[in-house]
């Protein structure tokens, strides 16, 4: 269930969307979305598929500002989409519910219980959105590629607490997200592999990493999936 409709019975969801005069739109892979939206101030919720918020610089280069997947929220103000350099691009076929802020703030029935629950859900999603934005700011304020990577891995580990970390993006997309050069990032990943990296200790150790971590396992590349796996088991300090 999408978090937007948490604690709202499926039979009531259609009533809610009608109350808010929401529109559900479908986009094909690689389609530019923002240019198709005729709403000045909106909030959107991805209910299926993936999309990227991209920025085109003065040289025509596209930079991924944010990766969006099912359940993620986007909006004119919360995603800086008033900036003409920004666009939303469908990474896969994607379905998005769009709601105009005017109708969110001025619904047809403010006393409705489902509207009250909707506001609670929306606030929770917005809080998650701002937390993610804060985490990315923490990443970008690091001056070195290594520290940006380590901050990213730390955040990912804290979210999943998993023994295997899957990067959902290609190396190119990850480099864009971290605002670093892809080739330099790949070299730093290799350096981290050679030194040994224990993600579980990132929560307790200095991220400058003058003291390297050693790991019994290795960094695995899967070119066909364009993923990187970090496995970590017993750790040895040298």
Long-range contacts at 209-215 (CB < 8 A, ≥ 24 apart): 209/146, 209/147, 209/150, 211/237, 212/238, 213/237, 214/238
φ and ψ at residue 219, rounded to 5 degrees: -90, 125
3-state SS, residue 220: strand
Q: Per-residue pLDDT tens for 3-19?
A: 888 899 989 988 888 88
Distance CA 226, CA 224 (A): 6
pLDDT at 190 over 50: yes
- Identify the band that residue 138 occupies on the pLDDT scale cut at 50, 70 and 90: confident
In 3D, which of 76, 77, 79, 78 has the Cα closest to residue 64? 79
Cβ neighbourhood burial of 161 (10 Å; 0-12, 13-18, 19+):
exposed
Give the model's pLDDT for residue 209.
30
Does the pLDDT value for residue 200 go beyond 80? Answer: no
Average pLDDT over residues 122-142: 84
Helix (H) or strand (E) run with residue 221 in it: strand 219-222
Q: How many CA atoms lie within 13 A of 143 on its CB side?
A: 1
Place of tokens 């606030």: 123
Q: pLDDT tier at 168 (50, 70, 90 boundaries)?
A: low
pLDDT digits (tens, 9 = 90+) for 69-112: 888 888 776 666 666 778 889 999 999 999 888 888 887 777 78
Beta strands across the sheet bearing 42-48: 23-27, 94-100, 42-48, 73-75
Domains of the chain: 3-139 (2.60.120.10), 142-236 (1.10.10)
pLDDT in tens, 13-40: 888 888 888 999 999 999 998 878 877 7
DSSP string, 65-112: EEEE-TT-EEETTTTTTTSTTEEEEESSSEEEEEEEHHHHHS-S-TT-
Q: Return the higher-pLDDT residue of 228 and 99.
A: 99
- For residue 204, pLDDT over 60 is answered with no
**8 alpha carbon, distance to own chain's centre:** 25
Site of tokens 């224990």 = 198
First to last CA, the chain: 47
97 alpha carbon, distance to own chain's centre: 18
């Amino acid at each position: 269930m999408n978090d937007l409709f948490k604690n709202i019975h499926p039979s009531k969801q259609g009533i809610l969307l009608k109350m808010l005069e929401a529109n559900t739109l479908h986009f094909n892979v690689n389609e530019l979305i923002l240019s198709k939206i005729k709403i000045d101030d909106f909030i959107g919720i991805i209910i299926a598929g993936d999309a990227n918020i991209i920025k085109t610089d003065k040289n025509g280069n596209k930079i991924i500002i944010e990766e969006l997947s099912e359940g993620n929220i986007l909006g004119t103000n919360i995603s800086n989409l008033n900036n003409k350099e920004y666009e939303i691009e469908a990474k896969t076929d994607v379905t998005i519910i769009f709601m105009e802020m005017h109708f969110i703030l001025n619904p047809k029935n403010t006393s409705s219980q489902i509207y009250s629950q909707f506001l609670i859900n929306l606030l929770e999603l917005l809080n998650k959105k701002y937390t993610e934005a804060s985490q990315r700011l923490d990443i970008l304020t690091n001056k070195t590629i290594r520290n940006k990577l380590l901050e990213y891995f730390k955040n990912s580990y804290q979210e999943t607490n998993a023994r295997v970390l899957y990067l959902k993006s290609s190396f190119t997309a990850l480099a864009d997200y971290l605002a670093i050069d892809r080739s330099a990032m790949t070299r730093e990943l290799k350096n981290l592999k050679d030194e040994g990296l224990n993600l579980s200790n990132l929560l307790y150790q200095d991220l400058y990493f003058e003291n390297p971590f050693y790991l019994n396992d290795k960094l695995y590349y899967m070119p066909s999936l364009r993923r990187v796996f970090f496995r970590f088991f017993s750790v040895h300090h040298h």
